[in-house]
Structure 1
Amino acid sequence: MSEQDLFKIETNNTVGRYSVASQDLKPGDVIFKEAPFAYGPKSDSACVCLGCHNPVDCATLCSKCSWPVCGPQCEVLSVHKDNECDVFSNAKVKFQAVEDPTDVCLQYECITPIRVLLEKERDQKRWEEEVSVMESHNEQRKPKPIWEFNQHNIVEYLRGPCKLDRFSEDLIHTVCGILEVNAFEARTPNCYMIRCLFPKLALMSHNCVSNIHHAVDCHGNGNLKDCVVTVRAAIHIPKGGELYSSYTYSIWPTLVRREFLRESKFFECACPRCSDKTELGTHMSSLKCQRCDNGVVVASDPLNDLCEWNCTHCDYKTHGGAMRKVFAAIQNEIDQVEYVGGHEGIQQRETIFRKYKSVLHPKHAYMTILRSALIQLYGKAEGYTLGDLPDVILERKMELCYQLLEVLDVIEPGLSRIRGITLYELHGPIMMHARHQYQYDAISKDDFRQKLKESVDILKQAVEILTNEPVSQPEGQLGQMAQTAYDQLIENFDMLVETAY
């Protein structure tokens, strides 16, 4: 731990090693920064350049190892040149041509494990102190299909054709497990996903309501030192308070979060949010009762996936298996429109929103997911830019933002990325709507001034969050835009009030 790190490691018999604040932390305080031990393609990756990790068509191959790269500038990046490039070229293992480079390519499964193994040889001290102590859950993984998959696609491939038999089968399986359980997703500057092994970040305990926020700045320059995670306090954390990260998507319902954690991280989450049938009052898993007017259907025992679900007002009941099918069906509908943008994307999401409005609690996870997407489409999609929106749509966008913020106050409190984006998306419609109301004589000049001040204050909060994001990432770039907009609004505030009518 460096002098700047504001946490310390403790141990107990129940959870093993965990991290606590070594002093009182304020929201935004940097707890630590860390370069990854290794990084590389995700599991189930399509074909990517082994230098910058951008998608490739596989037409250009490295002149030394004959694996896909963007070109000469990428084949010399150290992340490739000093790792698998040497291995493949020495063993004369060439990339096998594929029909569709956008499909999952199993040849890439070995890349990140190779990089971890070679970094172990280069930095034995960090391996022993930080990486070897990570959980691999080998015993839990052995009966699962992933073990046999790794045996064939990684272990046998590395020890056979790649001539890396100096690494034992057990070690390679352990590395695979460490990556599966502990790696964090990150984005390249072009927003393509990779996985990074950050040992300190992996020490943070899981909680479905985290109190820290991490942001990865990966410049795509092919060096470990050019990829850094910054971990900050999201809320006030007292000295000695445990530091919590979330290993899953916070906006999922409890059934889905716990299933993901069970299957991928090999533990049963029993955090306060998972243990509460109302999800800390958000009702992100609750359904409206179809038999009575005011009833809400909630799990009788949220830590039992097969428990009964009961109405709070009548005798209606169902079971966890049925609820899982309902959630899966709704998730499938949302997944179908994930990459649909513009007018069509708005209309399709609004259709799903209306379809389930009478079925799901207003703050349900899937309503929340739809709100998050719609907030960013209204104001940006063609024909729906902020200046084009009529008051009824401006009001719709504001309503969606406020409803989302109510949920985020509970499940992602403090300085979270999604909160910063939502605040940024909120300030514009408040300003535009107030201007229209003033021009229609629906509000007074003083009221308009107050609304404009509200918009500026909300933008200031967005700036405080988003300017902590790396400028290599979209949120950091949005933070720069927000800062410029805020500075201009402050400078021209009085003029905006005087000329708005």
Structure 2
Amino acid sequence: MQDFGENIQQVHNDKLGRHLVAGMNIEPGDTLLEERPLLVTPHWECGQLKCAQCFQESYVICRRCQVYPLCMDCSQHDDFECDFFASGAGKGLCKDILVKNYGICGLLKLLLLLEDPATRPDCATLVETPVNLDDYRDGDGMWQEHEEQVVRPLMASGLVEVLSSQQLTCDSLHAHCIRIDSNAFEVTARDGDTLKGVFVCGASLPHNCVPNTVVALDEQFNMKLYAAVPLQTGDIIYNSYTNPLMGTSQRQHQLRLSRRLDCSCSRCLDPTEMGTHMSSMKCRECPQGYAVCEMDPDGRPGDWRCLECKASMSAANVHELLAEVGGALVEARGDLQVYESLLTQYKSMVHPNHFLLLDIKQNIASILRAAALMNSMEQPCKKLLARRVELCSDLLPICRAVVPGISKLYAIGLFEYLLALIELVELQFAESDLNKKEYGAQLRTASLVGKKAMDLLRFEPENSAEGYLSDRISMELERIESDLNKYGG
């Protein structure tokens, strides 16, 4: 299932359990781990049938087993799964088992992997991981989703009786669902839909909000883990399971929900979040100060205090404001003017780098990009294009700071900035707002941006989303070079 690089070692301690460390000094880009997914499955709530082989939308069923969906391009799927319903223990079960309850697809796949003697050993590490179900019976939505979408329909299907050797109960099925979620990475199907890929080793790496690795996934959902920064012998190999553009309290909340852990990494313990101030509030008492969250001796968050005048803000007031902004973002519903109004309304209350402002800026930039792609602006407004360049530029230093070293986040940010800049300067040149010399200078800037993005993506598999992004950037660079030659840049 997985292949460890010669430069890492498996070790064990009481705090982290079994984990990986650098066995020698490692350079950025060096491969640490390669792993095939144990299983790939749509999300629990997916209602559209997906081909069991390639995961594209499907409206036909395998003629042999009459259970699994197939697309027009695929004539077969996993032999054991097909045999199980065609001529094996499950042949007497209702053939509409997936048509009526497609949400069970992921758990069904795991149960059949456990039933197959050839694949059962591959599941050992996953199913032997203990799950404290009481930690999940908390009404946060996950338990109820599993119950309604998966556990109850599967219990009613008759499959539990057919798989009697596995001694399945409602609780054991819930535990399997939790194991799948806890070990899943988001992967992308060929049609662009997101799926869950379960990687037992890759998902077992300890979490750090400032990871020292990069996860790469190709079109066949194979994982490659490589070093993002130089590693010294004995360094722990970390991954991150949160969105780096979230603030500390939001990352912590996500980790508690998804992995039941509290993070105490350097970023979480730094109230300024590595100097980015992504969670800092504007002081109400002094014009230049920003308030950060104070930690008590046990590392628990307390009230907020200005770094300049030492004035305090209650945690309750901060949380109330964050909830207000979060609710307003939900209500914005993709309206450009509403997002711009929110940005104006709240920028005086929080640090310019605050994660909520970043969220608003990302939404505005996305709307402007979508409008350009759909040619919804018959004559693109230079003001709006300049606004998109400005927003993309604002995001770049934050992306660079929160994911050091080789960073796909930063590379994608550079790409978005590159597209926005090229679109703007080409229009400015076409309308004679820029002369040849000025246009050439802007193209050289764009070229440097593109080359930096390419450099950050050079370790990505060619047949991955990032590999194709590299191809796109390369095409942009060729076009820039052509214009530089044409206009004497």
Interval of TM-score (by shorter of Structure 1 and Structure 2) = 0.7 to 0.9
Alignment correspondent of 1:227: 221
Residue pair 1:448, 1:497 contacting (<8 A) in 2 also: no
Alignment correspondent of 2:78: 78
TM-score scaled by length of structure 2: 0.82
- Say which is worse superposed, 185-194 or 375-384, in terms of deviation: 375-384
TM-score scaled by length of structure 1: 0.80
Count of residues paired in the alignment: 474
Structure 1 residue matching 2:215: 3-state secondary structure: strand
User: 2 CA distance for matches of 1:434 and 1:478?
Assistant: 22
Structure 1 residue matching 2:187: 3-state secondary structure: strand
Alignment correspondent of 2:311: 315
Residue pair 1:65, 1:88 contacting (<8 A) in 2 also: no
User: 1 CA distance for matches of 2:376 and 2:408?
Assistant: 23
Residue pair 2:211, 2:403 contacting (<8 A) in 1 also: yes
1:334 and 2:329 correspond: yes
Deviations 1:388-429 (A, max 9, x none): 555544443333223211111221223333212211222344
Residue pair 1:19, 1:204 contacting (<8 A) in 2 also: yes
Alignment correspondent of 1:414: 405
1:10 and 2:11 correspond: yes
Residue pair 1:213, 1:416 contacting (<8 A) in 2 also: yes
TM-aligned CA distance change 1:72 to 1:486, over 3 Å: closer
Residue pair 2:93, 2:157 contacting (<8 A) in 1 also: no
- Say which is worse superposed, 299-308 or 460-469, in terms of deviation: 299-308
Residue pair 1:250, 1:411 contacting (<8 A) in 2 also: yes
Alignment correspondent of 1:161: 158
Structure 2 residue matching 1:398: 3-state secondary structure: helix
User: 2 CA distance for matches of 1:71 and 1:455?
Assistant: 42
TM-aligned CA distance change 1:286 to 1:123, over 3 Å: same
User: 2 CA distance for matches of 1:154 and 1:329?
Assistant: 36
Letter in 2 for 1:460: K
Gaps of 5+ in 2: none
Structure 2 residue matching 1:378: 3-state secondary structure: helix
TM-aligned CA distance change 1:187 to 1:254, over 3 Å: same
Letter in 1 for 2:393: Y
Residue pair 1:26, 1:235 contacting (<8 A) in 2 also: yes
Deviations 1:64-85 (A, max 9, x none): 5555735465572228944885
Deviation at 1:299, TM superposition (A): 1.5
Alignment correspondent of 1:47: 48
Deviation at 1:434, TM superposition (A): 5.7
Aligned pairs for 1:415-494 within 5 A: 415-431=406-422, 449-466=440-457, 468-469=459-460, 474-490=465-481, 493-494=484-485
Identity of aligned residues (%): 22
User: 1 CA distance for matches of 2:147 and 2:389?
Assistant: 52
Residue pair 1:150, 1:176 contacting (<8 A) in 2 also: yes
Deviation at 1:363, TM superposition (A): 0.5
User: 2 CA distance for matches of 1:287 and 1:378?
Assistant: 28
Specify which of 345, 351, 354 is matched with residue 364 of structure 1: 354
TM-aligned CA distance change 1:83 to 1:228, over 3 Å: farther
Residue pair 2:85, 2:92 contacting (<8 A) in 1 also: no
TM-aligned CA distance change 1:306 to 1:24, over 3 Å: closer
TM-aligned CA distance change 1:332 to 1:425, over 3 Å: same
Residue pair 2:371, 2:377 contacting (<8 A) in 1 also: no
Specify which of 113, 118, 123 is matched with residue 122 of structure 1: 118
Residue pair 1:250, 1:412 contacting (<8 A) in 2 also: yes
Structure 1 residue matching 2:272: 3-state secondary structure: coil
User: 1 CA distance for matches of 2:462 and 2:217?
Assistant: 10
Residue pair 1:41, 1:108 contacting (<8 A) in 2 also: no
User: 2 CA distance for matches of 1:391 and 1:156?
Assistant: 55
User: 2 CA distance for matches of 1:150 and 1:438?
Assistant: 56
Aligned pairs for 1:19-418 within 5 A: 19-51=20-52, 52-54=54-56, 60-63=60-63, 67=67, 69=69, 71=71, 73-74=73-74, 76-78=76-78, 81-82=81-82, 90-95=91-96, 107-120=101-114, 121-128=117-124, 130-132=125-127, 135-138=129-132, 140-141=134-135, 143-144=137-138, 153-154=150-151, 157=154, 161-162=158-159, 163-169=162-168, 172-218=173-219, 226-301=220-295, 307-312=302-307, 313=309, 315-319=311-315, 321-336=316-331, 340=334, 345-382=335-372, 389-418=380-409
User: 1 CA distance for matches of 2:130 and 2:289?
Assistant: 44
TM-aligned CA distance change 1:318 to 1:85, over 3 Å: farther
TM-aligned CA distance change 1:150 to 1:445, over 3 Å: closer
Deviation at 1:260, TM superposition (A): 1.5
Deviation at 1:148, TM superposition (A): 7.8
TM-aligned CA distance change 1:28 to 1:17, over 3 Å: same
Structure 2 residue matching 1:252: 3-state secondary structure: coil
TM-aligned CA distance change 1:316 to 1:156, over 3 Å: same
Structure 1 residue matching 2:292: 3-state secondary structure: strand
Letter in 2 for 1:354: T
Deviation at 1:201, TM superposition (A): 0.9
User: 2 CA distance for matches of 1:333 and 1:84?
Assistant: 50
Deviations 1:315-354 (A, max 9, x none): 34222x443443344334334556x4xxxx5434323322
Deviation at 1:175, TM superposition (A): 2.8
Deviations 1:344-371 (A, max 9, x none): x543432332232222211011222233
Residue pair 1:379, 1:385 contacting (<8 A) in 2 also: no
Structure 1 residue matching 2:180: 3-state secondary structure: helix
User: 2 CA distance for matches of 1:82 and 1:443?
Assistant: 64
Gaps of 5+ in 1: 99-104, 219-225
Deviations 1:188-222 (A, max 9, x none): 1112121111122123211112221212224xxxx
Deviation at 1:443, TM superposition (A): 7.9
Structure 1 residue matching 2:487: 3-state secondary structure: helix
User: 1 CA distance for matches of 2:72 and 2:384?
Assistant: 50
Residue pair 2:443, 2:480 contacting (<8 A) in 1 also: no
Deviations 1:170-202 (A, max 9, x none): 764543332132221211111212111112212
Residue pair 2:276, 2:401 contacting (<8 A) in 1 also: yes
User: 1 CA distance for matches of 2:70 and 2:342?
Assistant: 40
TM-aligned CA distance change 1:112 to 1:354, over 3 Å: same
Structure 1 residue matching 2:33: 3-state secondary structure: strand
Residue pair 1:386, 1:429 contacting (<8 A) in 2 also: no
